[in-house]
Amino acid sequence: MAQQNWGTLAVHGAEPRKKAFDAVTTPIVASATYAFENSEEIARYFMGDLDREEYGRYGNPTVRAAEGKLAALEGAEDAALFGSGMAAVTTALFALLKAGEHVILTSDGYRRTRQFVTVILAKLGIEHTLVDPGDEKALFKALRPGKTKILIGESPTNPYLRVADLAIFAKARDTCPGANLLIDATFATPINQRPLEIGADLVLHSCTKYLGGHNDLLAGSLAGRRGLVEMIKDLRGVLGAVLDPQSAFLLIRGLKTLPLRVRRQNETALAVARFLETHPRVRQVFYPGLESHPDHQLAKRTMRGFGGVVSFRVDGDAQLTSRVIDGCKLATIAPSLGATETLIEQPALMSFFDKTTEERLAMGIYDDLVRLSVGLEEAEDVIADLRQALDGAK
């Protein structure tokens, strides 16, 4: 769909014109169980002749409406919602893997996904290989035809905003019959990039971030081919990692403003990144919209926007970096990203607090690293806040 039509798709995609009770918005169906008229209706339902709900762990009308809108935005045949992003990725991996098989994932991805693969799945006899997101040779060398069953990429990555060449990942997947390509596109959103169009089998989002967009819900999603998504949904019904209807309602609300919010955050983040590159107290800036970023040309070629997260290193030690963050008056110190408020954090203290400096450095996390997620405030106000915090830190 053309860029100018995304707003229409976000508002109306997959929604029936006439809704229950003549409501304009999708109603919240707060029911855990659903009644049948008679035994014949039960039989017709289990034979597949009726499209309706049975029990809350297997489906909910509000959740289904949100799944339909997500599928429309991704250009997917189907989508599945979960109680969190981690519930989505873990359910998918449990559904797609068994002992003796092999996973490839990028080293600069979400920490908890790496932990699940390298620790939990390893205990179950599932092997893995970590590769640098930009190392094509390492990616192809890691492939084990017959054993490699899933490739996991993230683009852009957290926290250095590396951009993966999804076409190369798809080409690597094609050399392993039966393998699937799963892309975590949380930082990109369907507005900036749609991985399914480039060859991914599944696209993952932590809907807690941009898709919800208001710091008030916890959810995760997978979108892709219908048969693949249905298989994962079946396991979701067993594991119980379902989304509640209230959160689904909030997600639908967030999706309707997603194109507007992402375009604004793209613009603000680029302005902030350019400012930070000129500040004498900033050692390095990581943002794919900057010419200095190693993946800038790839991002220009494959993305519609560069996202709302900017990472940078303060020219100082951990204590000075903390003072810069503490000096912010507009940016809120908090984990997460992608919402209406600008959020700032020091990953060494927030996400990797349980590691020593040496352990963090081995993972590529510097004590002076800052991750900034811009909100919907005016760009000049965000810049002014960062300037006074950087100038004032002693």
Residue 32, φ and ψ in degrees, nearest 5: -95, -20
Q: Do residues 306 and 340 make contact, with C-beta atoms less than 8 angstroms apart? A: no
- The pair of three-digit structure tokens given for residue 324, joined into one six-digit string: 């810069």
- The Cα–Cα gap between 166 and 163 comes to 9
Q: Is 209 a catalytic residue?
A: yes
- Choosing from 184, 201, 244, 295, the catalytic residue is 184
Q: Is 184 a catalytic residue?
A: yes
Q: Which letter does DSSP use for residue 242 in this model? A: P
- Choosing from 44, 57, 171, 253, the catalytic residue is 57
Q: Is 110 a catalytic residue?
A: yes
- Choosing from 78, 110, 149, 210, the catalytic residue is 110
State the DSSP string of 100-168: T-EEEEETTS-HHHHHIIIIIIHHTT-EEEEE-TT-HHHHHHH--TTTEEEEEEESS-TTT-----HHH
- Which amino acid, residue 8? T
- Choosing from 114, 173, 194, 209, the catalytic residue is 209
- The Cα–Cα gap between 245 and 114 comes to 30
- What radius of gyration do the chain's Cα atoms show? 22
Active site residues: 57, 110, 184, 209
